[in-house]
Amino acid sequence: MKLKNKIDRLKEIKSKLYKKDFLLTWEKSESDLLMVLEVADILKQLRDKNISPKVFKSGLAVSIFRDKSTRTRFSFASAANLLGLEVQDMDEEKSQIAHGETVRETANMISFLTDVIGIRDDMYLGEGNKYMREVAEALDEGFENSVLPNRPGIVNLQCDMDHPTQSMADLLHLKKEFGSLENLKGKKLVMSWAYSPSYGKPLSVPQGIIALMSRYGMEIELAYPKGYELIPEIVAIAKKNSKESGGSFKISHSMKEAVKDADIVYPKSWAPFHIMQERTDLLIKGDKAGLDQLEQKCLTENAKFKDWEYNEEKMKFTKGGKALYMHCLPADISDVSCKEGEVNATTFEKYRLKTYHEAGFKPYIIAAMMFTNQFKNPAKILTKILKKAKRRKGI
């Protein structure tokens, strides 16, 4: 479809994203989600055609990463640059936070000329999303009292509950792979726990996947060993979504059984819900000895389920033996030179480039979240960009 037609189609989407933070996908309507997907697709096409969508002439995009990151960090920076914002990475160790600066003060002090704040805070169960909302309340107060000339939008770059930029990028990847969102209806997606020689990985990826994909009539199967449950309230959201969308939701405790006739398999390691609760308590207390003991306990438990690795043996049970393999990366890969991991090297190599394509949608999803937060009428702005480009380049 031509760019102009794609942009014109945005006029038909009634979203409520303007000046609204993007924290959890299940807080957004289907129209909101569709707008983000469509704007992301248009921004990507503009970039591919070397048409600049720099809608900001100045301003900052501030990133706050409270956990390590490669893909999301660079995706956020790329998205900001694409739209004309300059990135400022907030290093809390170099700030006044250690000297008693409150969240309220920090949020306002970094926001005088800021349009977007991206936050990753996924280490503490029950704390990450809470922190983002505390920042949001501080920004509301600053803007309402004319401290801030503009209320910066907040983009959740991963919290303890959800990883919306990842799951939305995954949804756009699936839309491209299967041709449309409508074509996802009836497709079987297995969100599976997978063995990893490490522990403590957040629950937000599997939770984000089941909560979002269940809105599109898919047959969702959540597979994990007994004891590796997710947050119950989010599983309940996925069940509700599946019922409303005409799909299905099932929990199983055998990866081999779960992948039968699957169209998509998403193997990902995560720590049990109850372990993440215990880990948070120990982290808050600063109990290093307790954390070390918990880690050893978890590694011992993980080792019981090495057969949950995804490999060719399991793949052959999928739809035609060719299910689409997905992963948020980095995947723990097992081969002859290293220990067991989430997926073996041969299986990963078959889909390695597809997972890179999957990751490649994230900058555009983040850019779309920024764009729709700051501009009330995306179609109008994008039309101006396209017309300006045509005048300059004669396209």
Query: Is pLDDT of 268 > 90?
Result: yes
pLDDT at 385: 95
pLDDT at 374: 97
pLDDT at 257: 96
Contacts of 225 (CB under 8 A, 6+ apart): 193, 253, 304, 305, 308
pLDDT at 170: 98
pLDDT at 159: 97
Query: Is pLDDT of 157 > 80?
Result: yes
- Looking at the chain, the domain(s) classified CATH 3.40.50.1370 span 3-162+362-390, 165-359
- Cα–Cα dist 273/270, whole Å: 9
Torsion of CA 119, 120, 126, 130, to 10 degrees: 0
- Give yes or no for a contact between 206 and 221, defined as CB atoms under 8 angstroms apart: no
Q: Cα dist. 170→136, 142, 261, 326 in Å? A: 26, 35, 20, 8
pLDDT tens by residue, 48-75: 999 999 999 999 999 999 888 999 999 9
pLDDT at 234: 98
pLDDT at 191: 98
Query: Is pLDDT of 1 > 80?
Result: no
Read off the tokens for 374: 């700051």
pLDDT at 109: 95
pLDDT tens by residue, 326-372: 999 999 888 755 567 899 999 999 999 999 999 999 999 999 999 99
**Residue 283 pLDDT class (50, 70, 90 cuts):** confident
Average pLDDT over the chain reads: 93
pLDDT at 338: 54
Q: How many helices (H) and strands (E) does the chain have?
A: 15, 11
Cis peptide before 330 (omega within 30 of 0): yes
Query: Is pLDDT of 394 > 80?
Result: no
**What is the end-to-end Cα distance of the chain in Å, rounded?**
15
pLDDT tens by residue, 90-128: 988 777 776 778 999 999 999 999 999 999 999 889 999
Helix H or strand E segment including 232:
helix 232-245
Closest CA to 175 of 186, 184, 188: 184
Query: Is pLDDT of 200 > 80?
Result: no
pLDDT tens by residue, 221-267: 999 999 999 999 999 999 999 999 999 999 999 999 999 999 999 99
- Cα–Cα dist 55/200, whole Å: 40
- Cα–Cα dist 254/250, whole Å: 12
pLDDT at 106: 95
pLDDT at 67: 85
pLDDT tens by residue, 367-392: 999 999 999 999 999 999 999 888 87
The residue with greater pLDDT, 374 or 276, is 374
Closest CA to 351 of 369, 329, 336: 329
Report the CATH fold assignment for 3-162+362-390: Rossmann fold (3.40.50)
- Characterise 84 by phi-psi region: left (phi > 0), alpha (psi -120 to 50), beta (else): left
pLDDT tens by residue, 74-89: 999 999 999 999 999 9
165-359 falls under which CATH superfamily?
Aspartate/ornithine carbamoyltransferase (3.40.50.1370)
